Amino acid sequence: MSLYFRCEPAGTQSIPSFRSSNSPTIGTVLKHKRFFQIFILTLSIVVSSLPISARAPRLQTPQTTTAEQVSGEKFTFGKVDLDLLSEINLLDERFEKEGAVYHDPGLDAYLNRVGMAVVSGKDLENVQWKFHALRDPVPNAFALPNGSIYINTGLLALLDDENQLAAVVAHEVMHVTGRHTYLRNRSVRKKMLAINIINTIGTWTPIGGPAGLAINLIATISPLMLALSVLGYSRDQEREADLEGLKLATAAGFVPDGMPNSFKSMQKDIEGEQLGAPSFYMDHPKLQERVNYTSSSIPADARKLSADEAKHAQDDYLAVMEFVDRHDVDLAINEGRFRSAIYVSQKLVNLRPESSENLFYLAESYRTLGPRNAELTTKQLTSGAKKKAAKTLAKRTLEEIDAELLKTPEGQEAWKTNSAKSESLFLRALELNRFNARAHRGLGMLYERLNRKPDAASEYAKYLELAPNAIDTERIRRRLMVLRESMQQ
């Protein structure tokens, strides 16, 4: 948006002064300048609105000439694309280096199997297919244009079966095969240049009167329009990836319902984060819209899972994901996504109710949930309430929010319920496996918060005895020391 200095109202006085000027040369120059400015403005808008071609821009020297068939058009790498690719490769390495990628041999093999089935031998220039789990509890997935596909642990935990996972992978694969990142980059670059030119003209236009006003108006509005067109372009690409991805996953032998069902899984607004912005501000179509158009594009005679098959598919998937889900619960707790932690750990307990480890995760989730309710109420899911909660979260720390909630009767009631649930789950976990050291630790932390100091000290001591070399030994030892000191006083 242009921000320009104005020392008088929209130039109504300027034109008469030019007309009555004694120097006709200045008037002529300004008249030509006005046409020139209008011409440049129009050119910028027209050029930036042209469709983006898969060919390299003519001004760039093509580094490679090999191209593949993408959406019926050959994609040729230009210098800009290759520069982007080299940065992306470095980014890939950085994710690994910073511990952002979750590694588990079983999971890596599983993701690779599903991913390669979807890709089905697609060989593309400058693409090497890799499928990773990203350590992030937010439900999301993304593809880098070099073929690295990242699925957040938060999404893996939210999905219900392999067909949904294949749908997510297929969607991301379509972004890579469609060269969407490169095309969007080209589009953004062109539009940014146009915005810069338009802003400059808008800032420096010395013309008053209706023409000056028109130029200023165009210069003010067009950058916004161009910015919105970038979002619109992104939404088109997402829609294309959804629909083509659906075909790809189906061709690979997965059940087509996986695509709309994956969106339905994502619609669970566990943390109350889906704020429902107007669709033209979004770079993705709305989830309900995606459910609708993918569902309607599935042929009536397409393969469907029976209730039994669906249950088996769900159990098989959850069994593979058990370790990832546990890891995701830890991540969710670390990032203050306590309701997501409850949701995922409850899934784990439903899968194996007699697993001491799974019970520990559910108990830990309830302990950290504190004075919050386990599920958001209808009132908390209204748009206004969600915006208010987001604002509070931006201003307050989690500890402050906890303290504020504990002052309310609802918060006190929730804490009473959650702490009781947590205690019974910890005790059940210990009943099933008395050597579950972390259950002792969790119980110790719960008792410490409930001000049951001797019980807390006893549980911490048991933990240290059972896990003398654990990663948090020093932390617990310090807590125990502080507790014992306070008990002596």
Partner 1 sequence: MRLRVRFVFVILCCLLAHYGAANVQAQYINTKLVEKKVTIRSAIILPAKVEITKESAKGSEMMVAESADISSKVMDAVGQVLQKKKISVAPNLFEATAMDETRKYTLADIQNRYDALLPKLINKSKDIKKARFTLGDEVMLLNVHKDADVLVFIRGQGRMFTKGKTAFSIINIFSFDFPFALITVGIVDAKSGEVLAFTKPLSASKVLKDPKALSKMIEKSLKKLPAAA
Nearer to partner 1, 196 or 408 (CB): 196
Q: How many CA atoms lie within 13 A of 70 on its CB side?
A: 25
First to last CA, the chain: 64
CB of 116 to partner 1, least distance (A): 24
Amino acid at 224: L
Pairwise CA distance, residues 380 & 387, whole Å: 10
b/e code 451-475 from CB counts within 10 Å (16+ = b): ebeeebbbbbbbbbebbeeeeeeee
Nearer to partner 1, 7 or 50 (CB): 7
Q: Do 445 and 456 touch, CB atoms closer than 8 A?
A: yes
CB of 167 to partner 1, least distance (A): 28
Nearer to partner 1, 206 or 353 (CB): 206
165 to 100, 153, 168, 286, 460: CA distances (angstroms): 20, 12, 5, 20, 40
CB of 205 to partner 1, least distance (A): 10
CB of 302 to partner 1, least distance (A): 41
Q: Find the helix or strand (DSSP H, E) in which 441 lies.
A: helix 437-449
Nearer to partner 1, 20 or 65 (CB): 20
Phi, psi of 66 (to 5 degrees): -65, 140
CB of 225 to partner 1, least distance (A): 17
Which positions touch partner 1 (CB under 8 A)? Answer: 2-5, 7-8, 14, 83-84, 87, 90-91, 94, 97-100, 103, 135, 188-190, 192-193, 196, 199-200, 203-204, 206, 330-331, 334-336, 394-395, 397, 399, 471-472, 474-475, 478-479
Question: How would DSSP label each residue in 16-54?
Answer: HHHHT-S-HHHHHHHHHHHHHHHHHHHHHHHHHHSPPPS
CB of 288 to partner 1, least distance (A): 30
> Residue 281 carries which DSSP code?
G
Nearer to partner 1, 313 or 369 (CB): 369
CA nearest neighbour of 180 among 230, 113, 130: 230
Pairwise CA distance, residues 70 & 72, whole Å: 5
For residue 287, count other CB atoms closer than 10 A to its CB: 15
CB of 347 to partner 1, least distance (A): 22
Nearer to partner 1, 203 or 424 (CB): 203
Nearer to partner 1, 84 or 151 (CB): 84
Pairing relationship of beta strands 73-74 and 101-102 according to DSSP bridges:
unpaired
CB of 189 to partner 1, least distance (A): 4
Pairwise CA distance, residues 249 & 297, whole Å: 13
